[in-house]
Amino acid sequence: MPSYENVWLVPIFELDRVVKWGVVSTGLQRVASIGLGVLTTLLLTNVMGVEQFGYYTYVIGIVTLVLIPAQIGIPQFVLRETIRSIEAKNDVATASVIRWGYVVVTIAACIAIAGLIVFSHVAMAPGMAHLVLLALPLVVLTSWNEVRASVLRAYGWVTRSQLPENIVKPMALLFAVAAMALLAGTDSIAAEEAILANVFGVTLALFVGFWLFRKVHAGGKFVAVYHHKAWMLATTALGLTTALRAVSLNLGVVLLGSFGMIEETGLFKVASLVASQVGVAMQVANIVIAKDVGAALERGDKRHAERLLQTSSLLTTLASAGLVLFLLIFGRWLLDLAFPPAFQVVYWPMIILAIGQLVANFTGSVSLLLNLARLEWVAMRALLYSTIVNVIANLALIPLYGVMGAAIASLLTVIVWTSVMNLQLRRLLEMQVSFLAAVTGMFVRRRNGNL
140-185 tens-digit pLDDT: 999 999 999 989 888 878 777 888 888 899 889 888 888 888 887 7
First to last CA, the chain: 19
Per-residue pLDDT, 449:
61
Global pTM value: 0.71
Q: CA 275 to CA 269: how far, in whole Å?
A: 10
Amino acid present at 39:
L
Q: CA 153 to CA 148: how far, in whole Å?
A: 9
Q: How does DSSP assign 389-432, residue by residue?
A: HHHHHHHHHHHHHTHHHHHHHHHHHHHHHHHHHHHHHHHHH---
Q: CA 213 to CA 151: how far, in whole Å?
A: 8
Domain boundaries, the chain: 12-448
Q: CA 103 to CA 110: how far, in whole Å?
A: 11
Alpha carbon distances (Å) from 159 to 19, 150, 356, 419, 448: 10, 12, 27, 31, 39
Task: Report pLDDT digits (tens) over 112-148.
Answer: 899 888 888 887 777 778 888 889 999 999 999 999 9
Alpha carbon distances (Å) from 235 to 85, 93, 108, 369: 17, 17, 12, 16
Average pLDDT rounded to a whole number, residues 282-301: 83
Per-residue pLDDT, 22:
60
What three-state secondary structure class fits 150?
Answer: helix
